[in-house]
Structure 1
Amino acid sequence: MDGEKNIDSTVDTKQELCDMWGIDNKKKYVFYYDESNNCRKFWVDDSKRQFNTDYTADFVLAGVVKKVEDTVDVSLESFRKPLNLQENVKEIKFKKLYSKGDFLQCVKEERLFKTLSWIDKSSFYIHYIHVNNLFYTLVDIFDSIVAIDEIIEFGYDYYRMKSVFYCMFKDKAEALQNLMFKYKYPNLQKENIEIFCNELLLLLGSRREMKAEEKFLAGMLARASKSNELVFLHCNNDYIMQENYAEFYLDPILKYQKSKHIFDEETTVQNIVKEQIAQGENARDNFEFVKSESDIFVQLSDVVAGILGKIFKYINHTSLNQQLKDAESLSKLQKDNILLIYKLRMDAEIENRGFLHSVAPLYVIENLNRFFEIVKKVEK
């Protein structure tokens, strides 16, 4: 019965969140999914003393979505001539047909523009869940050192402060990885709380040069060094920050229960998802995992997930000055592709606020939106 209560209480919580954020989860949709930058587990590799994957390559579960009543009649053959696909190409795969390097290289592809244009003209919208791995693990420290009501009491915004905390450490990732290895993060022993917090403070440098929000958080970290517990950093597995990404597959299944969810096969994740869903009072039949070659819309989802994975990595890596320089040197096709991605995002958000979901610092989302604005100005 405990499993039942857990999964069903999660459904109730998600309904409350939908109501709070104005997300329409009553309308019936068909969602298609694929993923990019799927490292399957995010952890500190104890043999290398560093993260097991590029922490700037955000996990993306994304794709296309349409209303149930909309009929779309299309096949791989429909794309063969427009995309100039050879006869031996049996499915549309981002890595094989579109991915020619980093984001700026990918948006040089005419094939990408034709694919995104098809989505734009169809009855489909794009959707995504985007997870910044470094942010996701730093939040455990943040939520262990300060309470929401304390942040509000001092006149700060909770989500903004999470973003500030991320920015304080993002450029110190190499030293942070060594520190996490040293203390088997996120399984911190309580006797090491003081030295762990103090070493984090050393990474941040002098408080004199900090902004007010940063000083506040450094103060909370100093206070935490004298505490007996950092609630989210004990009784975990050594080094493992993200055991798997199943929760992000479960999220839309439970959030949009009146909709259908079709995922690309991912053996480990799909077994976990099926097991957890089956624990509910009524096992839900609103999802399935399929082989991508059998479903053209899952294949199109692979393109959406692929290019989004590229753009989030670009944003994570690139300063404002570099974005300005890059924008000035964009070709017309590059600008057309970038602005088409921008349009698809805006159309999706207008249709349903829940279609674009980022587990990431506000800083990254603002950076992305600013990049689009830069490209729009250059286009003019």
Structure 2
Amino acid sequence: MNYTKYVEAISKLHGVPKMDKEYELYYDETNNARIFRLTDDGFNFNEKAYFILGGLAFEKGKHPSKESLKRLIGKLEIQQNSTEIKFKHIQQKAKVFLELISRNHVRIFIEWLYDNKCWIHYSYRDNFYYSIVDIVDSLEESSYFGIEFSRELKSALYSYIDKDKDWFVQLLIYFDYPNVKNHGQFIDQILNWFEKIDPDRYDSNIEYLRQCLKSHRKDILIFLKGNKDRVMIKNYADIYRNSILTFYNATHVFDEELEIQKILDVDIIEVFGKNISYEFIKSDSSIFVQLSDLTIGILRVWMGFLESHSICELKELFSNLSATQVQTMKQFQAVMCGSLWENFGFKHGSGSNQFEEKINCFMEYDF
């Protein structure tokens, strides 16, 4: 299939630079729910565990030297009977981020990334946020003032839902969201919920949504019909495809994921008359895919850390780090920022503005 128009849309809407540069991108993924859906009790997967796809990126042919890789593997002290390096080998049972960056092998790996000026690329998805934004996107008024305004509306709704999540999830279950049959009743329930919001929590974005929904009481919410009952995300193939298309001249090497591969291989991905190069391989055949496993493991714990704290709490925790933690944090921050300086397209997220603000807080903090 010819995806040229899709690539042109990415360029126009997001202004990603150097989309035609010949990068080498290596991938692993974490928190793959396979399918994200509603059950009678809530979700089939922890909605706070963001799906993440990404890993290491290099300019074509410019990798860390074999000697540097050999020294790293030696320092990580991987057992001889291990066929490959896994995140668990450096995690050493650390559960939270501040514990993780205190582990010797994690510090060694981050220092290696820093010393070798490695780039990290990643895409993440907040499953619940991604699932509820169809409510906003179904309202044509949400697009009147551009993408950023639409994001503000989605983030405002997400924030309000988060304060009353149990009730809202039960609402979604009752209506078999996102395959709503009675749209008028669904809208009325949300409007009644808005009416109960504490006036002290007034938000102009919520008021805008309330007025939009009132005007659509007799309408069909376009993105909430023709779907499978309670299936909010049927797979994550679109994230893989988006990564491939964003850097259409790059070489993309994914850790083996058979179900995703079947979906992508249904048609040839063609851009500007050229087939895009990508492959799925067993991780034990590529050291850079293995190191991407370590990288994505660190990002998973890092994002969990950001998700579980407010910005005020994050700054308080940052101000009380040990000297060793500060050094590792600075190096990790430098790698993350350096990657975005090379190309801000190395980061792609489907998440709320509130979470993006936490990422920015980390990136800008003076450790």
TM-score (norm 2): 0.90
1:160-216 Cα offsets, whole Å, 9 max, x none, are: 332222212123222222111111110000xx2222223233444336331222221
**Equivalent residue in structure 1 for 2:124, among 127, 130, 136:** 130
User: Secondary structure at 2:79's aligned position in 1?
Assistant: coil
Q: Distance in 2 between matches of 1:110 and 1:50?
A: 38
1:318 counterpart = 2:318? no
- 1:81 CA displacement: 2.3
1:255-292 Cα offsets, whole Å, 9 max, x none, are: 22211000000111111111133699968350111111
**Equivalent residue in structure 1 for 2:59, among 60, 67, 70:** 67
User: Secondary structure at 1:363's aligned position in 2?
Assistant: helix
User: 2:240 is matched with which residue?
Assistant: 249
Q: Contact 2:95–2:301 at 8 Å: present in 1 too?
A: no
- Amino acid paired to 1:196: F
User: 2:5 is matched with which residue?
Assistant: 12
- 1:229 CA displacement: 0.4
User: 2:160 is matched with which residue?
Assistant: 168
CA spacing shift, 1:60–1:195, aligned 2, 3 Å: same
1:99-152 Cα offsets, whole Å, 9 max, x none, are: 521222212212112112212222531100111111111111111134344345
Q: Distance in 2 between matches of 1:171 and 1:63?
A: 33
Q: Contact 2:17–2:345 at 8 Å: present in 1 too?
A: yes
Q: Distance in 1 between matches of 2:317 and 2:355?
A: 18
User: Secondary structure at 1:45's aligned position in 2?
Assistant: coil
Q: Distance in 1 between matches of 2:192 and 2:98?
A: 37
Q: Distance in 1 between matches of 2:148 and 2:34?
A: 35
**Equivalent residue in structure 2 for 1:348, among 339, 346, 349:** 339
User: 1:24 is matched with which residue?
Assistant: 18
Q: Contact 1:70–1:123 at 8 Å: present in 2 too?
A: no
Q: Distance in 1 between matches of 2:238 and 2:162?
A: 24
**Equivalent residue in structure 2 for 1:289, among 276, 280, 303:** 280
CA spacing shift, 1:221–1:228, aligned 2, 3 Å: closer
Matches within 5 A, 1:168-247: 168-189=160-181, 192-204=182-194, 205-206=196-197, 208-209=199-200, 210-224=202-216, 226-247=217-238
Q: Distance in 2 between matches of 1:213 and 1:177?
A: 21
CA spacing shift, 1:271–1:283, aligned 2, 3 Å: farther
Unaligned runs of 5+ in 2: none
Q: Distance in 1 between matches of 2:363 and 2:186?
A: 39
Q: Contact 2:54–2:121 at 8 Å: present in 1 too?
A: yes
Moved more, 230-239 or 72-81: 72-81
Q: Distance in 1 between matches of 2:193 and 2:251?
A: 47
User: 1:270 is matched with which residue?
Assistant: 261
User: 1:87 is matched with which residue?
Assistant: 80
How many residue pairs align between the two structures?
Answer: 362
User: Secondary structure at 2:266's aligned position in 1?
Assistant: helix
CA spacing shift, 1:28–1:19, aligned 2, 3 Å: farther
Q: Distance in 2 between matches of 1:295 and 1:321?
A: 41
User: 1:33 is matched with which residue?
Assistant: 27
Q: Distance in 2 between matches of 1:233 and 1:195?
A: 13
- 1:67 CA displacement: 0.7
User: Secondary structure at 1:166's aligned position in 2?
Assistant: helix
**Equivalent residue in structure 2 for 1:369, among 352, 360, 366:** 360
User: 1:357 is matched with which residue?
Assistant: 348
Q: Distance in 1 between matches of 2:264 and 2:90?
A: 30
Runs of 4+ displaced beyond 4 Å: 278-283
Q: Contact 2:333–2:362 at 8 Å: present in 1 too?
A: no
User: Secondary structure at 2:124's aligned position in 1?
Assistant: strand
User: 2:251 is matched with which residue?
Assistant: 260
User: Secondary structure at 2:38's aligned position in 1?
Assistant: strand
Q: Contact 1:23–1:354 at 8 Å: present in 2 too?
A: yes
Q: Contact 1:80–1:86 at 8 Å: present in 2 too?
A: no
CA spacing shift, 1:320–1:38, aligned 2, 3 Å: same
Matches within 5 A, 1:43-58: 43-46=37-40, 49-58=41-50
CA spacing shift, 1:172–1:317, aligned 2, 3 Å: farther
CA spacing shift, 1:221–1:95, aligned 2, 3 Å: farther
1:142 counterpart = 2:136? yes
CA spacing shift, 1:324–1:160, aligned 2, 3 Å: same
Measured on the aligned residues, the alpha-carbon RMSD in Å equals 2.4
Q: Contact 1:66–1:123 at 8 Å: present in 2 too?
A: no
1:97 counterpart = 2:125? no
